[in-house]
Amino acid sequence: MENRKNSDFMRTRPVLPLLLSMSIPMVISMLVSSLYNIVDSYFVAAISEEAMLSLSLVFPMQNAVHSAAVGFGVGVNAAIAFHLGAGDKDRADAAMSTGVVLSVLHGITLMAACIAASRPFLSMFTSSESVISMGTRYSSIVFAFALVDIPGITMEKVFQSVGRMKVSMAAMMAGCIANIILDPLMIFGIGPFPAMGIEGAALATGIGQTLTLLIYIAVYAFSPIDVRFRWNRAMRDRSIAMRLYSVGIPATLSMAIPSLLVSALNALLAMYSGVYTLILGIYYKLQTFLYLPASGFVQGMRPLIGYNYGAGDMGRVRRIFLLVTLMCLLIMLLGTVLCMLFPEALIALFTSNPETIGKGAAALRIISLGFMVSAVSVAASGALEGLGMGLPSLVISLLRYALIIIPLSYFLCLLTPLGPEGVWHSFWMTEAIAAIVSIFIYRRSIRGR
């Protein structure tokens, strides 16, 4: 019961201050991570527009690996928080131990698979040997660090599950800041570093991920947390592994589906011009600056909802969900204003081509119409994952990233006068439909609990 006392603040503190204390560190780290994504792309774009295009085409594969890591981490997070809320430290330790071992195995598997698949994957979307070569060279380095990145993300979710959000913030920020500093040094050959071009961007990313993992290991070793890694509990209980995957697989699919979406839309837009494909890649770089801070509140919410669900306090679960929805709504409002007022400046961060800037600005204004309404789906999906309800969360993601938007995009592009602009309109239409369905799915999933 001592462990239950240590983490019982998640059930006893007032909801709003508790949510802010859990989420603000995550929002800060997400903002820094978003800044890194933009800065990284800014420096790569300075190499050439072809380099930026190669990065955009590799993005779906990177997103798939990141999704696998975060999705499985969400399963670990939900299991630990639930068992701590129920006062069962032994099973919480088993969830952490099994999760860490499996994350290492996932890292080895994905590293080998992605390096082998990078050239064939890139060849599906471009015939430019220059773009394929740069993308392959970038991939061979950045995916080699999957063995570091995936366990690091699992440790991030472990620390979040016990409320140690400041540790997660510090580790993530350290990795991102190191990345931002190293990018220009390694890409352009400043100081003692040779000019490595796009390979330098990949190596800087890997070094940042390594630093993050080392910080988690150091803090875990010298500052005890509520759960411990125990070899004698790792991989010994099949029900624990099944619980991790029952949430982790749907969460992984939920996060990986956008990669399918980007690939489908890249294929569609490539029928018109490479400019539209580049604009889509730039949009996904920019939208991380908006959706990752919202993800910070979702990450703060997950252990709170899981812990209180384990403790049987559904009234508190509902209050937490409503507050997170409101916070996401405010973040999306800010993003809408920025995209409506300064779209040209945002696109110009990644290209100096006047045609790309003009068409990209028009695309941002259209897509941003759906930002605010998407807050409902984002919050509902995250809450269901925190409750250990992976399948309903997956349904919401399927609606947003596949079942509605892909056929709608093809219909608007090929069967209406909108042409390639049909893709941009499909974003806000999809978010409106998905938000309505998300409310129904969330209410039905928690009914009677």
What pLDDT does 336 receive?
Answer: 95
What pLDDT does 429 receive?
Answer: 97
Beta strands in 13-145 (DSSP E): none
Tokens matching residue 236: 């010994």
Whether 250 maps to a domain, the answer reads yes
What pLDDT does 44 receive?
Answer: 81
Query: d(Cα 181, Cα 174) in Å, to the nearest integer?
Result: 11
Whether 49 maps to a domain, the answer reads yes
Query: d(Cα 264, Cα 409) in Å, to the nearest integer?
Result: 10
C-alpha to C-alpha distances, 427 to 50, 122, 305, 316, nearest whole angstrom = 26, 25, 29, 33
Whether 379 maps to a domain, the answer reads yes
What pLDDT does 224 receive?
Answer: 81
What pLDDT does 449 receive?
Answer: 58
The residue range of the domain holding 331 is 15-444
Whether 436 maps to a domain, the answer reads yes
Whether 4 maps to a domain, the answer reads no
What pLDDT does 21 receive?
Answer: 86
- Residue reference for tokens 């007032």: 14
Whether 2 maps to a domain, the answer reads no
Tokens matching residue 172: 């993530």
Domains held by the chain: number = 1
Query: d(Cα 249, Cα 71) in Å, to the nearest integer?
Result: 7
Whether 101 maps to a domain, the answer reads yes
Whether 135 maps to a domain, the answer reads yes
Query: d(Cα 397, Cα 386) in Å, to the nearest integer?
Result: 15
Mean pLDDT per 10-residue segment, the chain (449 residues): 56 85 80 69 80 81 84 87 84 91 94 92 85 90 93 91 86 89 90 87 91 94 86 81 86 78 88 89 82 84 86 87 93 94 92 91 95 94 86 91 94 93 96 96 80
